[in-house]
Amino acid sequence: MRSEKDFVEFGKEKMDQLKSFFEELEVQLALGKAEAKEVFEREKKNVTEFINVQRSRLQKEEELKIERLNALEAKMKELAALLAEESPDKVKAYDKSKETLLHCIYSLEAVLKEAYVEAGAALRVYLDQFRTALDAYRIRLALSSFENRAEVEVQKEVLSAVLTGMLDRFRTEEKTEEKLEHFVAELETAFDHVKKAVKELIKS
């Protein structure tokens, strides 16, 4: 998926194309209105095709992003529920709880790896913080025993706090789809203004 930097470069490339178009149009206007109209109609078709292709491609990427982030959020909620449970006071129960927690964490880490690629720069900062807290808890939990379970509780509280903040962040995450529609709307509006201006020039 394109990063925010890629989108900026992507926009610059299109603006360069439009700049070349305007320069060519200026030359054609000097040569004659018929040639200018032909150039304009050609570029109009190119821009329309460009907008449609990019909208379709980016919408597919957005669907993948949403799917992976939703899967990550579901796994985080699953872990949050396990962390909220009381620590067992029996050896066998503790070992069973430990096994369940580690299995959930390993599964979450696999989903996190895929979702991280889809996340924006702002969300990645929070995911990095969460991953650090998750790693610390996983290691402490894996090395723990029923006898020293109190040591794990401290790291558990830290992870729970970070996890709560992470789940809140998901609810405020800006979607790429919204950015895309805004970008496309601006491009279409700008081109409509150009189209109107050029038609006036051709009529005169």
- Residue spans of the domains in the chain: they are 4-203
Lowest pLDDT segment from 43-47, 86-90, 147-151, 170-174: 170-174
**Per-residue model confidence (pLDDT) at position 202:** 54
**Per-residue model confidence (pLDDT) at position 57:** 78
Under 8 Å between Cβ of 156 and 83: yes
**Those residues with Cβ within 8 angstroms of residue 161's Cβ, 6 or more apart along the chain or in another chain:** none
**Nearest residue to 161 via CA among 60, 66, 54, 84:** 84
Q: Is the C-alpha dihedral spanning 59, 187, 123, 128 positive or negative? A: positive
**Per-residue model confidence (pLDDT) at position 151:** 86
- Percent of the chain past pLDDT 70, that is, above it, reads 63
- State yes or no: pLDDT of 155 exceeds 60: yes
Q: What is the mean pLDDT of the chain?
A: 79
- State yes or no: pLDDT of 165 exceeds 50: yes
Average pLDDT score over residue span 59-71? 85
